[in-house]
Amino acid sequence: MQDARLRKLEGSRVLVTGGGGLVGSRIVALLARVGAAAIVLDRFDAYPHPVRGLFDVDTYAAKVVCGDVRDAVTVRALVARADFVIHAAAYTDVAACTRRPDLAFAANLHGTQTVLQEVVASPVRRLVFVSSASVYGNGTGNGARRFTESRPPTPVSVYANTKLWGEHQVRLMIGGSSAREYSVLRYFSVYGEPQIPKPGSHSWMVPWLAMSAQLGLPMLLNGGGHQVRDMVHVDDIARATVLTLVADKAAAQTINIGSGRATSVRDIAELIARHYPDAVLRDAPRPDGDPLGGYADTRRSEELLGWAPTITLEQDIDRYVSWLKNNPHVVPDWILPTTTPGT
């Protein structure tokens, strides 16, 4: 059932940067359901082409523009006709940002700066900046860590550093403007079909581990799988983000979007392995930039957004695995084991 508060968005126009990605496309679909017109700006090159079809953004968006958030002319033209902006475009993969800090800089700093300067000069009412729980880094202390928004951020990856810069820049540029509002959302670990991993990634555990098991490959547990993640379903993430556009108390706030539950990567693997009787779990080294992780303090999201997740990991892993079994063609070729010539 639809949240009645979202009716306020009926007839409004929302620019969703990165609207062609996993999260952005779910936001776009939700906006369409509540009668808002979503305008998508996306480069559409984060995944191989068939994934664009999987995310189905063309069905729900009022307008789709294939372009770059660094292109000030395009961004200006789009914000000029928007009531709200959700800035979700980013070079999103932690490992890829470590390999290519220049690309992370281009999308996540230069791109964010372009969006901010155009929003400041536009009639947009509120900008929601999509940040990440990665800004908390490893946290401090032993055991599972609860991350509270007031905790000083300690990013341990290039990706997290770009997100933290974006947060500060949003506060500096929009926080100083009396006419515009902003909110910063720190998503924890997003999952849900049709998420698929990117080459060389160590993020997005559910698809990685499920696809490995489905192909009969070992399910690799980096660092023994002791890292913890706070897993939030993409539909819950989309609802929290769209609610942030209309929640009065969310203005000028930084808000965790998580479940408040810590799940170890090993626990996630074991939930998936129940569906694959021959699955083998194997320890592997922990890559650079892979945080030990933690879980969300959810008090702000409850109080300021009136939001809590509705989908549990246990329910959704069953759904993800059955989707994957019914759609084996979604497994990217580069995950398939390569045969050594002559063997």
Ligand X SMILES: NC(=O)c1ccc[n+]([C@@H]2O[C@H](COP(=O)([O-])OP(=O)(O)OC[C@H]3O[C@@H](n4cnc5c(N)ncnc54)[C@H](O)[C@@H]3O)[C@@H](O)[C@H]2O)c1
Residues that bind ligand X (CB under 6 A): 18, 20-24, 41-46, 68-70, 88-92, 107, 111, 130, 132, 187, 189-190
CB nearer to ligand X: pick between 15 and 69: 69
Q: How far is the CB of 47 from ligand X (least distance, A)?
A: 7
CB nearer to ligand X: pick between 67 and 276: 67
| Residue facing ligand X at closest CB distance | 21
CB nearer to ligand X: pick between 192 and 225: 192
Q: How far is the CB of 19 from ligand X (least distance, A)?
A: 7
CB nearer to ligand X: pick between 45 and 218: 45
Q: How far is the CB of 178 from ligand X (least distance, A)?
A: 27
Q: How far is the CB of 122 from ligand X (least distance, A)?
A: 18
CB nearer to ligand X: pick between 41 and 276: 41
Q: How far is the CB of 44 from ligand X (least distance, A)?
A: 6
CB nearer to ligand X: pick between 108 and 122: 108
- Three-class SS of the chain: CCCHHHHHHCCCEEEEECCCCHHHHHHHHHHHHCCCEEEEEECCCCCCCHHHHHHCHHHHCCEEEECCCCCHHHHHHHHCCCCEEEECCCCCCHHHHHHCHHHHHHHHHHHHHHHHHHHHCCCCCEEEEEEEHHHHCCCCCCCCCEECCCCCCCCCCHHHHHHHHHHHHHHHHCCCCCCCEEEEEEECEEECCCCCCCCCCCCCHHHHHHHHHHCCCCEEEEHHHCCEECEEEHHHHHHHHHHHHHCHHHCCEEEEECCCCCEEHHHHHHHHHCCCCCCCEEEECCCCCCCCCCEECCHHHHHHHCCCCCCCHHHHHHHHHHHHHHCHHHCCHHHCCCCCCCC
Q: How far is the CB of 342 from ligand X (least distance, A)?
A: 38
CB nearer to ligand X: pick between 90 and 313: 90
Q: How far is the CB of 166 from ligand X (least distance, A)?
A: 9
